[in-house]
Structure 1
Amino acid sequence: MKSRLPGFYRLPLRDRQRVVADTAGLTEDEHRDMVSEVPLTCNQVDRMIENAIGVFSLPFGVAVNFSVNGRDYLVPMVTEEPSIVAAASHAARITRECGGIDATADPSLMTGQIHVIDLPDAETAAGRLREAAPRLVETARTLQPRMVARGGGAREITATVLPDGNLLVHLVSDVGDAMGANAVNTLVEEIAPHIIRVTGGTANIRIVSNLADRRLARATATIPEDLLHDREHTGSEMARRIARASDLATHSPHRATTHNKGIMNGIDSLAVATGQDWRAIEAGAHAYAARNGTYQPLATWHHHDGHLHGSTELPLAVGTVGARITDSPRACLSLRLLGITGARELATVMAAVGLAQNLAALRALAGEGIQRGHMALHRRTEAA
Structure 2
Amino acid sequence: MHTFYTNPSIFVFLKIKNNMSNTISGFSKLSKTEKIEWILETYFTDIDKARHLVQSYWNSDEKLQKLHDEFIENTITNYYLPLGVAPNFLINDTYYTIPMAIEESSVIAAASKAAKFWLERGGFKAEVLSTEKIGQVHFIYKGDFEKLTAFFEHVKPKLFSDTAAITKSMKRRGGGILDIELRNKSKHLPNYYQLHATFETLDAMGANFINSCLEQFAMTFKNEALKFEGFNPEEKAISIVMSILSNYVPQCLVRAEVSCKIEDLKSKDIPNPEAFAQKFKQAVTIAEIETYRAVTHNKGIMNGIDAVVLATGNDFRAVEAGIHAYAAKEGQYSSLTHCTVEHGIFKFWIEVPLALGTVGGLTNLHPLVKFSMVMLREPTAKDLMKIVAVAGLAQNFAALKSLTTTGIQEGHMKMHLMNILNQFEATEGEKVKLIDHFKTNVVTHSAVAEEIKKLRQ
> What is the TM-score of this pair, normalised by structure 2?
0.72
Asked if residue 97 in structure 1 is aligned to residue 120 in structure 2, the reply is yes
Equivalent in the alignment of 1:331: 369
Aligned residues: 349
2:217 to 191, 210, 218: 191
Q: Over aligned residue pairs, what C-alpha RMSD do you find?
A: 2.0
- Residue-by-residue CA offset, 1:30-81 (whole Å, 9 max, x unaligned): xxxxxx9879943122211011001111111100110111111110001111
The superposition leaves residues 321-368 of structure 1 with CA deviations (integer Å, 9 ceiling, x where unpaired) of: 013211111111101101033101000111111111111111111111
Cα distance in 2 for residues equivalent to 1:80 and 1:341: 25
* Residue 397 (structure 2) aligns with: 359
Aligned to 1:298: 336
Residue of structure 2 aligned with 1:254, choices 282, 288, 292: 292
Question: Corresponding residue for 1:148?
Answer: 171
CA-CA distance at 1:271 after TM superposition: 0.4
Match of 2:55 in 1: none
Residues in 1 aligned to 2:306 and 2:182: alpha-carbon distance in whole angstroms: 33
Report the Cα distance in structure 2 between the residues aligned to 1:72 and 1:128, rounded to whole angstroms. 54
Aligned to 1:51: 74
Matched-pair contact (CA < 8 Å) for 2:127–2:254: yes
- Separation in structure 1 between the aligned mates of residue 163 and residue 290 of structure 2, nearest angstrom: 44
Judge conservation of contact 2:59–2:65 (CA < 8 Å) in 1. Answer: no
Distance 1:371 1:170 in 2: 47
Flag the 1:230–1:159 CA change in 2: closer, same or farther, 3 A. Answer: farther
Match of 1:204 among 241, 252, 270: 241
Deviates more, 1:229-238 or 1:68-77: 229-238
Q: Matched residues in 1 for 2:247 and 2:357: separation?
A: 14
1:375 is the counterpart of 2:413: yes
* CA positional deviation for 1:233: 4.8
State whether structure 2 residue 104 is matched by structure 1 residue 66. no
Amino acid at match of 1:153: G
Residues 126/369 of structure 1: CA separation in 2 closer, same or farther (3 Å cut): farther
Which of 129, 133, 141 matches 1:110? Answer: 133
Q: Matched residue of 2:68: which SS?
A: helix
- Are the aligned partners of 2:184 and 2:193 in contact in 1 as well (CA < 8 Å)? yes
Q: Using the alignment, how far apart are the partners of 1:77 and 1:149 within structure 2?
A: 34
- Deviations 1:214-247 (CA, angstroms, capped at 9, x unpaired): 2111111103333254547511111111100000
CA contact (8 A) 2:336 2:352 kept: yes
Asked whether the equivalents of residues 126 and 161 of structure 1 are also in contact (C-alpha less than 8 Å), the reply is no
Q: Establish whether residue 214 from structure 1 lines up as the match of residue 251 from structure 2.
A: yes
TM-superposed deviation, 1:140: 3.0
Equivalence for 1:17 = none
Structure 2 residue identity aligned to 1:361: A
Aligned counterparts, 1:133-172, within 5 A = 133-162=156-185, 163=187, 164-172=190-198
> Which one scores higher on RCO, CA 8 angstroms, separation ≥ 6?
1
- How far apart, in 2, do the equivalents of 1:151 and 1:107 lie? 15
AA of the residue aligned to 1:149? R
Residue pair 1:210, 1:284 contacting (<8 A) in 2 also:
yes
**Would you say 1:223 and 2:260 are equivalent positions?**
yes
1:348 maps onto 2:386 in alignment: yes
TM-score by length of 1: 0.86
**Which segment drifts farther, 104-113 or 170-179?**
104-113
Q: Report the identity percentage.
A: 36
Q: Which amino acid aligns with 1:189?
A: E
Q: Matched residues in 2 for 1:361 and 1:49: separation?
A: 35
2:110 to 74, 87, 90: 87
Choose which of 312, 315, 328 in structure 2 pairs with 1:274. 312
2:323 corresponds to: 285
Counterpart for residue 203 of structure 2: 177
Question: Which of the pair has more CA radius of gyration?
Answer: 2
- Kindly state the Cα deviation for residue 144 of structure 1 after the two structures are TM-superposed: 1.9
Specify whether residues 69 and 277 from structure 1 end up closer, same or farther in structure 2 by C-alpha distance, changes over 3 A only.
Answer: same
Q: Contact 2:204/2:358 (CA < 8 Å) preserved in 1?
A: yes
Residues 141/155 of structure 1: CA separation in 2 closer, same or farther (3 Å cut) = farther
Is the Cα contact below 8 Å between 2:130 and 2:254 reproduced in 1?
no
Structure 2, gaps ≥5 residues long: 1-57, 226-235, 422-430, 432-457
Question: Which stretch has the larger CA shift, 169-178 or 105-114?
Answer: 105-114
CA distance in 1 between counterparts of 2:210 and 2:402 reads 41
Please give the alpha-carbon distance, in whole angstroms, between the structure 2 residues aligned to 1:332 and 1:252: 40
Q: Which residue identity does 2:373 align to in structure 1?
A: L
Contact 2:166 2:212 in 1 (8 A): no
Any idea what SS the aligned residue of 1:340 has?
coil
Three-state SS of the structure 1 residue aligned to 2:340 is strand
Indicate the SS of the match to 1:271. helix
Moved more, 137-146 or 315-324: 137-146
Q: Which amino acid aligns with 1:181?
A: A
Larger CA deviation: 281-290 vs 141-150? 141-150
Stretch moving more, 70-79 or 303-312: 303-312
Structure 1 unaligned blocks of 5 or more = 1-35
| Deviations 1:141-188 (CA, angstroms, capped at 9, x unpaired) | 443211111111111000111122211111111111011111111110
Separation (CA, whole Å) in 1 of partners of 2:284 and 2:260: 15
> Hey, what does 2:233 align to over in structure 1?
none
Provide the C-alpha distance between the structure 1 equivalents of 2:417 and 2:212, rounded to a whole number of angstroms. Answer: 49
Q: Is the 8 A contact 1:219 1:312 kept in 2?
A: yes
